[in-house]
């Protein structure tokens, strides 16, 4: 089953949910909240999340883009929403966002 999600930019208000996913996705080596706070204000970075129709955060990603090169810094899906196409949707969104930044700034 493919879960329909909407994608939005991550704001500081979203960081509690980001941290919940981050800690279960990467239990021993997860980023700190301060790291995410710094990243979402970084002009070279893009951080976005996937929301379910009920408004629950299903996953998120981050990447840095410099000119035509991008580096994915993080990507994670909440365990409750794995194997439902969320990560695939996030990856397609990364590609779309990179394309927009290079060809339609």
Q: What's the chain's average pLDDT?
A: 93
Asked if the model's pLDDT at residue 1 lies above 80, the reply is: no
In a domain, 19, yes or no: yes
Give the rounded percent of residues in the chain with a pLDDT score beyond 90.
Answer: 80
Q: Is residue 81 part of a domain?
A: yes
First to last CA, the chain: 35
For the chain, the domain total comes to 1
1 within a domain of the structure (yes/no): no
Percent of the chain scoring above 70 in pLDDT: 97
Looking at the domain assignment, is residue 74 inside a domain? yes
Domain that holds residue 33: 6-103
pLDDT at 91: 96
43 found inside a domain? yes
8: left (phi over 0), alpha (psi -120 to 50) or beta: beta
pLDDT in tens, 9-59: 999 999 999 999 999 999 998 999 999 999 999 988 999 999 999 999 999
Q: Which CATH number goes with the domain that contains 97?
A: 3.40.630.30
């Amino acid at each position: 089953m493919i879960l329909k999600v909407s994608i939005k930019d991550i704001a500081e208000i979203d960081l509690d949910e980001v941290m919940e996913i981050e800690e279960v996705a990467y239990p021993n080596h997860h980023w700190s909240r301060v790291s995410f706070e710094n990243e979402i204000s970084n002009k070279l970075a893009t951080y976005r999340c996937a929301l379910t129709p009920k408004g629950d955060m299903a996953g998120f990603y981050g990447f840095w883009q410099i000119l035509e090169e991008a580096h994915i810094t993080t990507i994670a899906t909440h365990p409750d929403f794995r194997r439902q196409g969320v990560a695939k949707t996030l990856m397609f969104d990364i590609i779309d966002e990179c394309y927009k930044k290079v060809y339609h700034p």
